[in-house]
Structure 1
Amino acid sequence: MKRILLHSLPLLLLIGFLTSCSKEDDVMAPATARVMVVHASPNAPAVDVRVNNTVALSNVAYPVNSAYTSINAGSTNLKVSPAGSTNYVIDATVDLKSNMNYSVFAIDSVSKIKAAVVMDDLTAPATGKVHVRFFHFSPNAPAVDIAVTGGPVVFSNRMFNDQATNASLSNFTPLDAGTYNLEVRLAGTNTVVLALPNVTLTAGKIYTVFAKGFAGGTGMQALGAQIIVNN
């Protein structure tokens, strides 16, 4: 019995060493968050995004969004510059919580460009439902309501970048899946400023809709709406 134990000792020590290393690796593995970047500044050029001074995304054009990217959680520096340059138009430090999801929007006109950071709750919708939220990112447009065409208001009295001072406006609203005819109205009125026909919302999906462009803008800078599928 003693000989068997002695012969087994090196193997037992090796197993113990590997197990210890595995536990140490688990402890040392950095906590991460997932971040999506959205270019929502109507007259800004394509941009590069740096995370803690390392290029994470290149040549992101308006109004394109990236996929979610995993980065280390904690205090995180985000820099945005015109593609190919280091002329930073956004230089912001944000606190990203472990295992959470975020969207970082580059918003406002290029002379006032800034970051809007929101948390994304990607909890799956109930059967037959979708989750939807709306952001107002048209810099010169007045407050608006988002309503079913000729019907009830879904999101009321939304103002430019208002979620920055009211975090609850970043929450998703459950709706029945289906195809909707929607319209953007001047807040509190029946005056339609933008029609959004045939918006298909697929069961189980999570959507972010944001107002883009300028009131009175033309071409790529025209007032419109952009839809992001978050999941």
Structure 2
Amino acid sequence: MSAVMSFGLTGCLDNDVDDAPAPTPVAYISFYHGSPDAPDLNVLVDEEKINNQAFKYSNASSYLSLTTGNHEIAFTPVTGSDAIVDTTINFKEDNIYSLYTVNTLQDIEMLVVEDSLVTPGTGKAAVRLINLSPDAPAVDVTIAGGAATPEFMNLGFKGNTQFVQVTDGTHSFQVKEAGTENVLVAPTSLTLEPGRSYTLIVRGFQTPPAGNSNGLALQVIRNY
């Protein structure tokens, strides 16, 4: 549940080389496949495929540089060419974005989150939470024992928090239905390194449809 998944990227992101290049304003973007019944995908920027292997459910990319301004971002099934998500986004200079495919395949959409990364203090890591489960209730996520903060409370579908600092080390995170003691995900042990930033993702179906094994889980992605 806590493994960081990645996929290879090539193509149009910052590939131009010049003998005397002028500084080019850039933004930074990452991708995450969070639709629990969608197929493996290709990622297209301005109609150019940038992945060199299938973008599978729960896969994430590192941050990639992209020239600022409007860019068309699309996702297509690896077995077809028709986009299941296609939108144009204006990317601003030096801003950092995470782009998530979310919801069920029937209602799939792109969630764009502008990241406000923080530099953790000595002995600290930075953590935020995003809820990508399309059928789970709002959640509370806490660290077992309460010896370390944060506590993320009453976060609904597509909700996301700011990064907050937490003591580094190994902690047991608990996911419960908001305002109750109803445990939705068994306590999950995650190791946070000092000076690093992480996104905790509640993902998957609370009640998976027939033939789908992507049940509710807590995943950690290291942002940097």
The TM-score, its normalising length taken from structure 2, stands at: 0.83
Gaps of 5+ in 2: 1-18
Name the aligned partner's letter for residue 172 of structure 1: F
Cα shift at 1:81: 0.7
Aligned position for 1:93: 88
Of the three residues 175, 193, 207, the one matched with 2:184 is 193
Gaps of 5+ in 1: 1-20, 164-168
Instruction: Show structure 1 runs of 4+ deviating over 6 A.
Output: none
Of the three residues 8, 11, 31, the one matched with 2:25 is 31
Cα shift at 1:219: 6.3
Could you report, residue by residue, the CA deviation over 1:98-124 in whole angstroms, capped at 9, with x for unpaired residues? 122211111111111110111223332
Of the three residues 156, 177, 196, the one matched with 1:205 is 196
The question of whether the paired residues in 2 share the 8 Å contact of 1:39 and 1:106 is answered with yes
Cα RMSD of the aligned pairs, angstroms, is 1.9
Does residue 1:228 correspond to 2:204, yes or no? no
CA distance in 1, matches of 2:187, 2:76: 32
The question of whether the paired residues in 2 share the 8 Å contact of 1:145 and 1:154 is answered with yes
Name the aligned partner's letter for residue 141 of structure 2: I
Of the three residues 148, 152, 158, the one matched with 2:155 is 158
**Could you say if the C-alpha distance between residues 47 and 142 of structure 1 is closer, same or farther in structure 2, counting changes exceeding 3 Å?**
same
Identity %: 31
Q: Secondary structure at 2:50's aligned position in 1?
A: strand
Name the aligned partner's letter for residue 30 of structure 1: T
Based on CA coordinates, which of the two structures has the bigger radius of gyration? Answer: 1
Aligned position for 1:7: none
Of the three residues 187, 203, 207, the one matched with 1:216 is 207
CA distance in 1, matches of 2:173, 2:167: 14
CA distance in 2, matches of 1:100, 1:182: 30
Q: Secondary structure at 1:111's aligned position in 2?
A: helix
Name the aligned partner's letter for residue 223 of structure 1: L
Cα shift at 1:179: 1.2
Q: As a proportion of its length, which structure holds more helix?
A: 1
Cα shift at 1:148: 2.2
The question of whether the paired residues in 2 share the 8 Å contact of 1:48 and 1:84 is answered with no
CA distance in 1, matches of 2:205, 2:123: 35
Q: Secondary structure at 2:49's aligned position in 1?
A: strand
Looking at both structures, which has the greater relative contact order when contacts are Cα pairs under 8 Å and sequence separation is at least 6?
A: 2
Cα shift at 1:153: 6.8
